[in-house]
Chains A and B, each alone.
Chain A
Amino acid sequence: MGKILNTWIQGFNRYMKLQKQFSNEISSIVLLKTIGISIGIASIMLLIPVLIGINLIIFIYLRYYLFIYFMILGLIFIDVYYLQFKKWIVVFDNRIQKLNLKFMFLVERRIIQSIFFIIFGLIILQLGV
């Protein structure tokens, strides 16, 4: 148990260190540009599946499948967003290449996916579906 906890603490420290380095290296403009373009591309890529889901909402007997469908789409959106973020941040500022950000992005991605999963689950429970 102690060993596992230690690994987690080490991992978290490593993440915090990388996060600090990343914040020091990158300017706000580059960050905003990258976030904007990543959200834009992820939205364009997932627009058709999202619209299909919205169109199917009127078929009320599909509601359970649709909630699962939208949850999966949300998780995919976060994945696509991070893939695009990794790609475009280097394009806008190639100094970032020297940092090994794979681990940082992986941790962030999983944290955001977990938060999304919890919030979506709570909303569904609240709606009583």
Chain B
Amino acid sequence: MFKLKKSIYIIFYLFTIVFLVFPTHYQVLLPGDTTSFDEQVMIENHEIPTISSIYVISYEPITLFQYTLIQFFQNGQLFIPNESTQEMTLKEKHDAAQLQKLSSYMISAIVAYTKAEKAISYEFEGYAVTSLLNQDRTIKIGDYITSINGIPLEIDTDFSQFNEMLTLDFEVNRNQEKLNIIHERSISDLPLSLYPIFTITQSNPVITFPGLDSVVGGPSGGMMMTLTIYLSLMHQSYDLNIVGTGTIQIDGTIGIIGGLNEKYETVKDDMDIMFIPLEQFDTLSNNNDARIVPINHLDDAILYLSAYHG
């Protein structure tokens, strides 16, 4: 009897361990937190207004226990990650997210300074690779592609011109070294994700980004960073709790982001205005909240804030 009881305990113990450590194929997006931009950016002789970006927790692979909890409480978005993400190592994922943030912050500064008519000069470095082309890692995460088949890449390059080309000759910068990588296209190729990288050579006032060293990565803070820099340059501040999410393009348009509902869940109890990409307004489950402001361009946010204050 004692032996049976002991065996039941051992089986239960082992079963619980498996339940707590066994990985599933799922990735999850969960509500996260906000970070204030005064920790992310510094502009010489300018105050940074109190505006926050929202981040969510993205984690994979989740365990059976985590899967059960998320299903039970319905507080996260479960999905199977794409093939490229599955292939990437933890370090590659981190590096990719940091490159996306770098791209986004540099574009933010350029767009905001241009809009505020302040002096800024910059150079286009190339397109940073943030996903895998194939399992062989022909092109590595962090490579800067500067030309393809002899055609130099610019910020407005139309990538569809390469669709029909069977052989691709990439000119890349890898760790300050110039390389030529020839790639024969194959059916198993994964879609390549590229982010334009700029270097700010000079600006007046001088801008620095201490937030580039933080662990939070990704491009989704771009729109709010641009708004923060612009308001700071114009010496404007609002006594409001302004949050938002969305990527920024070099022409000031706002791009879509992941985990919008989780971001809303993160800030819903503590915000006055939340800017979101117009394109994603319908995907937000709580879009009848009057504090949600869908925008398509940076100008829309600036106009809204001016009108809000009368």
Contacts and interface: CB of A to CB of B under 8 A. Distances in A.
B20 A48 contact: yes
A58 B28 contact: yes
Contact of A52 (B13, B20, B31, B75): B20
Contact of A58 (B17, B21, B30, B33): B30
A59 B33 CA distance: 11
Given A48-B16, A58-B59, 9 more contacts: A48-B13, A48-B17, A52-B65, A55-B66, A58-B28, A60-B30, A60-B31, A60-B33, A61-B31
Interface of B: 13, 16-17, 20-21, 28, 30-33, 57, 59, 62-63, 65-66, 69, 75
A47 B32 contact: no
Interface in A27-75: 47-48, 51-52, 55, 58-61
A52 B62 CA distance: 13
Nearest to B33: A60
Please report whether the interface of chain B is mostly helix, strand, loop or mixed according to DSSP.
mixed
A64 to B, nearest CB: 12
B62 A58 contact: yes
A51 B59 contact: no
Interface of A: 47-48, 51-52, 55, 58-61
A60 B20 contact: no
Nearest to B65: A55
Nearest to A54: B20
B57 A60 contact: yes
30 contacts: A47-B17, A48-B13, A48-B16, A48-B17, A48-B20, A51-B17, A51-B20, A51-B21, A52-B20, A52-B65, A55-B20, A55-B63, A55-B65, A55-B66, A55-B69, A58-B28, A58-B30, A58-B57, A58-B59, A58-B62, A58-B66, A59-B30, A59-B69, A59-B75, A60-B30, A60-B31, A60-B32, A60-B33, A60-B57, A61-B31
Nearest to A63: B33
Nearest to B28: A58
Contacts of A52: 20, 65
A58 B27 CA distance: 12
Contacts of B13: 48
Nearest to A59: B30
Nearest to B68: A55
Contacts of B59: 58
B32 to A, nearest CB: 6
Nearest to B55: A60
Contacts of A58: 28, 30, 57, 59, 62, 66
A59 B21 CA distance: 16
A60 to B, nearest CB: 6
A51 B65 CA distance: 10
A47 B57 CA distance: 25
A52 B63 CA distance: 11
B266 to A, nearest CB: 9
Contacts of B62: 58
Contacts of A55: 20, 63, 65-66, 69
